[in-house]
A and B are shown apart, each in its own frame.
Chain A
Amino acid sequence: MENKTIITSYLVREFLPDVRTDELESDYDLLAGGVIDSLALLRVVDWITTEFDLSIDDLDLSPDNFRSVDNISALVASAKS
């Protein structure tokens, strides 16, 4: 499965129970809309390290990297490379 799909289904499952995965656009601003707040951010980081087998040291934790599915996916890609 593509990373974007994996990330989208995780976000929908965890934070958007009333939404279908195809409704979450990959450029939707997750921070402005409050889908991911500061507490949720910690959970997302924790999930990324487990799901993609990454160390937290590999990740650039600036909030902008978590703003959208596209950005999270790019963060994962750059950490894996």
Chain B
Amino acid sequence: MTETITGAVERHAATRPADPALHWQGAEVTYGELAEAMRAAAAGVAGLAPGPVGVCAKKSPQAIAFVLGCLRAGRTVVLPSPTLPAETLTELFERAGAGTVVTAADLEQATTGDHQAEVHSDDNAFMLTTSGSTGVPKLVPLAVGGIERFTGWVHDEFDVGPGRRVLNYSPLNFDLCLFEIWSTLRRGGCVVLVDPEIAADGGALLDLLATTEPHVVQAVPLFYQLVADAADARGAELTLPSVEHVIFTGDAMTPARLPRLRALFPSTRMHNIYGCTETNDSFRYELRDGDEERTALPLGRPLPGVHADLVSDGAILTGPGTGELVVRTPFQSPGYHNSSAGDGAFGDHPVRRDGHRHFRTGDLVRRDEHGELSLAGRADFRVKVRGQQVYLQHVEEVLLGSADVLEAVAIAVPDEHAGKRLHVVVRRRDDSRLNSLVLRKYLAERLPPAAIPSTLSIGVDPLPRTSTGKVDRQHLVLMSEKR
């Protein structure tokens, strides 16, 4: 039988009760303590209305113990972003069939009870949400078996077992927690939880890394930038030698920033991991010397058991070219839950028709003449400007290659004369003198004429983000139409 996360926590608590399970705000929670809190929560959960349980709370040891309690009581945990509008949250919980929603304020009461924990089990452990920035997100159920296979891969590749410390930067509702929190607890390591309060404070993040000495760090590129900038500000030649694996995920890492990170993490291997909520991780690339010369990092190889094709114009692309990535992973969701749009991108392979359930990622991937794969952008981010194809992501990569640019987004904006015009929004470094003249010159040296933006907006404020931390493109399109 498949071992569950909660079964594993019990086993760790029985064999190594004093081992740390969580590190939080300078203190440790042992496996013994975590298992006790989990049992108390499970007893409390057994008294709640049957069915999935909604959890709308920020990251904390209590929240994690409560999620474990739900899983132990055989309940599916519905975890949307707590920052979504209240109406959207209500609709999501309703659609998920969650009879009870627990907020941060309820956690205290909800984690105790004397009900006999009911031992039945849902097929699904979690329901996460997609990161669409418009409308109500879709619910993505994740089955117990898929999660167990995923924790196996994480452990084989990175060792998250006893004696190891794994940093968790992402919020509790992010799919990245399947790696950072749930795989680590399943395999017996210690999760170093980043308090959401310090998530944007590079100095505090740097201190946390220096004092807790994690072995595995996975985060979005922005995290590494914050930490590297803070290290630069300290002046001293500070290094973080404990880290054996640095993982970039969730967004494109700018290769020009790699040398700085290699100096900061002198003993690490570096990985670029690609995936999405629906399928979990599907590709990994291990970085090599010289990668800093590239404009973008490649996707690398499919993870063990992952099947991937590039599909273009109804055929499987076997040679060089660009096509939509279609994948099947051992970790993928059984399909969207109770979605009015039906199965969406889940379904039979569009070409092979082999009866296996695949996922059309909507991501365009380019295969070069050496067979190397790299992300060309979202299928819906390929736009025609003045009759020519422009890959928005490529424009963004080039922008981010400038040392004066902190954040950058390229968008196609409807235009009364040109049909569509290319607009870029850039956040420059506070101390830089970047203006549109300088940036246009820089772009002209690196991009074809069609990819030179018609209009540029350069500022020092952070770009607006959606509830899952991605740049809110829709909002920027609306803003630039208003000009």
> Residue among B441, B443, B453, B458 with the most chain A CB within 10 A?
B441
A35 on the interface (CB 8 Å rule)? yes
B contact residues around A37 at 8 Å (CB): 454
Say yes or no: is B482 at the interface (Cβ < 8 Å to chain A).
Answer: no
- A residues less than 8 Å from B440 (CB atoms): 33-35
A39 touches B417 (CB 8 A): yes
Q: Are B449 and A18 in contact (CB under 8 A)?
A: no
Chain B contact residues: over half helix, strand or loop, or mixed? mixed
Contacting residues, chain B, for A32 (C-beta < 8 A):
441, 444, 449, 452
Of A19, A23, A32, A33, which is in contact with the most chain B CB atoms at under 10 Å from its CB? A33
- Say if the beta carbon of A29 comes within 8 Å of chain B: yes
Shortest Cβ distance from residue A44 to the other chain B in the assembled complex, whole angstroms: 15
Q: A23 contacts B449, CB within 8 Å?
A: no
Which residues of A are found within 8 Å of B453, using beta-carbon distances?
Answer: 34
A76 CA to B387 CA, complexed, in Å? 32
- Cβ of A33 and Cβ of B441 under 8 Å apart? yes
A15 CB to nearest B CB, Å: 9
- Contact in complex: B435, A23 (CB < 8 Å): yes
Q: Are A19 and B435 in contact (CB under 8 A)?
A: yes
Residues on A with beta carbons closer than 8 Å to the beta carbon of B449? 32, 34
* Cβ distance B387 to chain A, nearest Cβ, rounded Å: 12
Chain A window 25-58, contacts with chain B (Cβ cutoff 8 Å), 1 for yes, 0 for no: 0001100111101110000000000000000000
| Chain A residues near B386 (CB-CB < 8 A) | 38
Cβ < 8 Å to B, chain A residues 46-75:
none
Within 8 Å of chain B (Cβ to Cβ): is A79? no
**Closest residue to A15 on the B side, CB-wise?**
B436
| A19 surroundings in chain B (CB, below 8 A) | 435-437
B437 touches A28 (CB 8 A): yes
Q: Is A16 an interface residue (CB 8 A)?
A: yes
B14, CB-defined interface residue at 8 Å: no
> Are B454 and A24 neighbours in the complex by a CB distance under 8 Å?
no
B351 within 8 A of A: no
Judged by DSSP, the binding face of A is loop
In the bound complex, residues from chain A placing their C-beta under 8 Å from that of B458 are: 18
The answer to whether A34 and B452 have CB atoms under 8 Å apart is yes
Q: How far is the CA of A24 from the CA of B440 in the complex (A)?
A: 12
Size band of the interface chain A makes with B: 10 to 19
Which among B417, B441, B452 is the interface contact of A28 at CB below 8 angstroms? B441
CA distance A23 to B439 in the complex (A): 13
Minimal Cβ-Cβ distance residue in A for B415: A39
Partner of A34, one of B418, B435, B454: B454
Contacts of B443 in A (CB 8 A): 33-34
Instruction: Please state if A16 and B436 are interface contacts (CB–CB under 8 Å).
Output: yes
Bits for B421-456, please: 1 = Cβ < 8 Å to A, else 0: 000000000000001110011011000010011101
Tell me which residues across on chain A come within 8 A of B418, comparing CB atoms: 39
The residues of B that contact A33 with a CB separation of less than 8 Å are 437, 440-441, 443-444, 452
Residues on B with C-beta less than 8 A from A39 are 417-418
Cβ contacts under 8 Å, B444 to chain A = 29, 32-34
What separation, in Å, do the CA atoms of A32 and B443 have in the docked complex?
9
Complex Cα distance, B452 from A24, in Å, reads 18
CA–CA, A76 to B112, complex, Å?
84
**Within the assembled complex, what's the spacing in Å between the Cα atoms of A33 and B452?**
7
For residue B452, which residues in chain A have a CB less than 8 angstroms away from its CB?
32-34
- Measured CB to CB, the closest approach of chain B to A6, in angstroms, equals 19
Q: How far is the CB of B412 from chain A (nearest CB, A)?
A: 15
Per-residue A-contact encoding for B119-157, CB less than 8 Å = 1, 0 else? 000000000000000000000000000000000000000
Residues of B at the A interface (CB closer than 8 Å) are 386, 417-418, 435-437, 440-441, 443-444, 449, 452-454, 456, 458
9 nearest A-B pairs in the assembled complex, by CB-CB distance: A33-B440, A34-B452, A32-B444, A33-B444, A19-B435, A18-B435, A33-B441, A19-B437, A18-B436
A-B contact pairs, 22 of them (CB 8 A): A16-B436, A16-B437, A18-B435, A18-B456, A18-B458, A19-B435, A19-B437, A23-B435, A24-B437, A28-B437, A32-B441, A32-B452, A33-B437, A33-B440, A33-B444, A34-B440, A34-B449, A34-B453, A34-B454, A35-B436, A35-B440, A39-B417
